[in-house]
Structure 1
């Protein structure tokens, strides 16, 4: 049983490197609408943008939890994203100390462009597989994503800006 699981782990690790390469290439190829280069956005920063796209407005502490980083790391990351115009800070309620983070229109445009580029490359790669293998890959990856607690692609890609909780 352990050898079987190790073999699957090896296959998933290899596939995850391939998928990470697709993300990195897509991020590098996407241009920020503000005229900058998406290459200036790191993969961890991009992940923060994706979390905000998936879940809508977040408190910095909630974003830190979702990214599995310290609160200070999330704050520094958001400072950079705010500086690039990709994330906005908003005061919540009457407590001026409480801040919420929301994806800006420029941040949404970047996530949408990177997603478009990723989908195009994934389409090209998957088109090389026979139809039956594509179905098997789809089913296995859906179960894997469910086990990891990931939101389905079509569920988060349409989450409106600034929503509490986003689409689920």
Structure 2
């Protein structure tokens, strides 16, 4: 079933417009909340993946976070310059770069769960528990997850 057509499509009423608007607003709020940790919302994903052992290389990070390799390299450069992570060549394959959190990076990552839920809960405060569950289900369906 087609939900949009040439006749009924209106940019500011489209799903894409609403998703972009929601994402942009959330990133602004999350960046502001993370300012004291000296990281951004995008940096948060990298730090949390490393903390949880879900990714160890820039390639794995790029795939999980849906970020192109150029942007990933710039973000890793920024985190490395802040002393939050270290890169090292794999002993098995010199072409492979492994990422590890520094002590400072671990300390910052430990504080993220104190900050991020507050931002998300403020955005979701008008949702009932049932609406929240359905919202997550529908977003996952839309994202093909």
Find the counterpart in structure 2 of residue 23 from structure 1.
30
What is the CA-CA distance between 1:101 and the residue it aligns to? Answer: 0.8
- Count of matched residue positions in the alignment of Structure 1 and Structure 2: 137
Name the larger-Rg structure: 2
Provide the C-alpha distance between the structure 1 equivalents of 2:86 and 2:136, rounded to a whole number of angstroms. Answer: 33
- C-alpha separation in 2, matches of 1:87 and 1:121: 25
Compared with structure 1, are the counterparts of its residues 148 and 49 closer, same or farther at alpha carbon in structure 2 (3 Å cutoff)? farther
- Once the two structures are TM-superposed, the CA of residue 20 in structure 1 deviates from its matched residue by 1.5
For 1:84-103, list aligned pairs within 5 A. Answer: 84-96=82-94, 98-103=96-101
Match of 1:109 in 2: 107
If asked which structure has higher relative contact order (CA below 8 Å, sep 6+), I would say 1
Mean alpha-carbon deviation: is it higher for 1-10 or for 86-95?
Answer: 1-10
Gaps of 5+ in 1: 32-37, 151-168
Q: Which runs of 5+ in 2 are unaligned?
A: none
Please, what is the CA RMSD of the aligned residues? 3.4
Deviation at 1:10, TM superposition (A): 3.3
Aligned counterparts, 1:115-154, within 5 A: 115-127=113-125, 129=126, 131=128, 134-145=129-140, 147-148=142-143
Contact persistence 2:55–2:61 (CA under 8 A): no
* 1:80-139 deviations in Å (ceiling 9; x for gaps): 322322112244344455331123343233234234222123324433x263xx421332
Question: For 1:12-51, what aligned pairs fall within 5 Å after superposition?
Answer: 12-28=19-35, 30-31=36-37, 38=38, 41-51=39-49
Give the Cα separation in 2 of the matches to 1:114 and 1:73: 22
TM-score normalized with structure 1 length = 0.58
SS in 2 for 1:89: strand
Alpha-carbon spacing, 1:105–1:146, altered in 2? closer, same or farther (3 Å): farther
